[in-house]
């Protein structure tokens, strides 16, 4: 139990994954492969009164950091007071290609997330799941392309001129309608 006597564990690093769904997790026990399956070995006595899976996600990115692109899980904090919790974060990754104003393409991923948590400590010494933090991700079949373009100052000037021209046109129409209405109302009726 590497984190038992410390204030908390800090997990950081980069994980390379292929472009298929999968998961990254931090869970209780020693990770091994048995009969072709990924299992975690641990002593059940170590979790008889619970296992603290409290965590704070400071930074989570899938690809390079791009200004203006939010990472929904950053700042997420889950505190476990009692029990042994399993936290699942289901992440939908959207491949994104940014083309900056200097013509340099930047490939990254945006993502959305939903979460689920469950206390897996049924009763003392009995678990209904593996305590830990699980990031389950899958890729969407679509790609978003964002292109950054610099708008010249002349574009602004043309837009301002168009607005001013529109205001004068509408004012002229209103003036013409009012003039004709007043002229018709002010004309004396002829008596025959």
Could you tell me which residue, 1 or 90, shows the higher pLDDT?
A: 90
Query: Is residue 1, in this structure, part of any structural domain at all?
Result: no
Domain tally for the chain?
Answer: 2
- Report H helices in the chain: 153-186
pLDDT at 159: 93
pLDDT at 173: 95
Q: What is each CA distance from 174 to 93, 157, 177, 179, 183, in whole angstroms?
A: 53, 26, 5, 9, 14
pLDDT at 92: 94
Cβ pair 11, 43 in contact under 8 A: no
Rounded (5°) CA angle 37-42-48: 130
Query: Is residue 16, in this structure, part of any structural domain at all?
Result: no
- Residues 165, 128 share a domain: no
pLDDT at 1: 43
pLDDT at 2: 47
Query: Is residue 177, in this structure, part of any structural domain at all?
Result: yes
Query: Is residue 189, in this structure, part of any structural domain at all?
Result: yes
192 CB neighbour count, 10 Å cutoff: 3
- Residues 142, 79 share a domain: yes
- Residues 166, 187 share a domain: yes
pLDDT at 58: 87
Across the range 31-57, mean pLDDT stands at 82
Kindly tell me if the per-residue pLDDT of 176 is higher than 90.
yes
- Residues 73, 51 share a domain: yes
Kindly tell me if the per-residue pLDDT of 6 is higher than 60.
no
Query: Is residue 14, in this structure, part of any structural domain at all?
Result: no
Full-model pTM: 0.69
pLDDT at 122: 76
Query: Is residue 10, in this structure, part of any structural domain at all?
Result: no
Kindly tell me if the per-residue pLDDT of 54 is higher than 60.
yes
Q: List pLDDT tens digits, range 74-121.
A: 889 898 888 888 999 999 999 999 887 777 888 888 999 999 999 888
- Burial class of residue 151 (count of CB atoms within 10 Å of its CB; 0-12, 13-18, 19+): exposed
- Residues 93, 65 share a domain: yes
- Residues 117, 79 share a domain: yes
- Residues 158, 112 share a domain: no
Q: List pLDDT tens digits, range 122-175.
A: 777 678 888 889 999 999 999 988 887 778 899 999 999 999 999 999 999 999
- Which domain range does residue 129 map to? 22-147
- Residues 125, 160 share a domain: no
pLDDT at 5: 56
């Amino acid at each position: 139990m590497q984190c038992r006597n410390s204030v908390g564990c800090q997990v950081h690093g980069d994980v390379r994954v292929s472009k298929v769904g999968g998961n990254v997790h931090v869970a209780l026990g020693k990770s091994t492969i048995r009969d072709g399956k990924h299992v975690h070995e641990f002593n059940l006595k170590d979790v008889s009164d619970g296992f603290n899976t409290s965590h704070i996600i400071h930074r989570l990115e899938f690809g390079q950091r791009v200004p203006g692109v939010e990472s929904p899980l950053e700042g997420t904090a889950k505190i476990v007071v009692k029990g042994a919790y399993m936290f699942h974060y289901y992440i939908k990754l959207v491949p994104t290609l940014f083309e900056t104003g200097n013509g340099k393409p930047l490939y990254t991923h945006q993502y959305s997330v939903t979460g689920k948590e469950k206390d897996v400590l049924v009763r003392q010494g009995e678990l209904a799941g593996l305590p830990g933090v699980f990031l389950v991700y899958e890729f969407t079949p679509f790609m978003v392309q964002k292109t950054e373009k610099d708008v010249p100052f002349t574009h602004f000037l043309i837009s301002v001129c168009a607005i001013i021209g529109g205001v004068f046109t509408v004012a002229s129409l209103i003036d013409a309608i009012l003039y004709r209405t007043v002229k018709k109302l002010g004309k004396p009726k002829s008596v025959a």
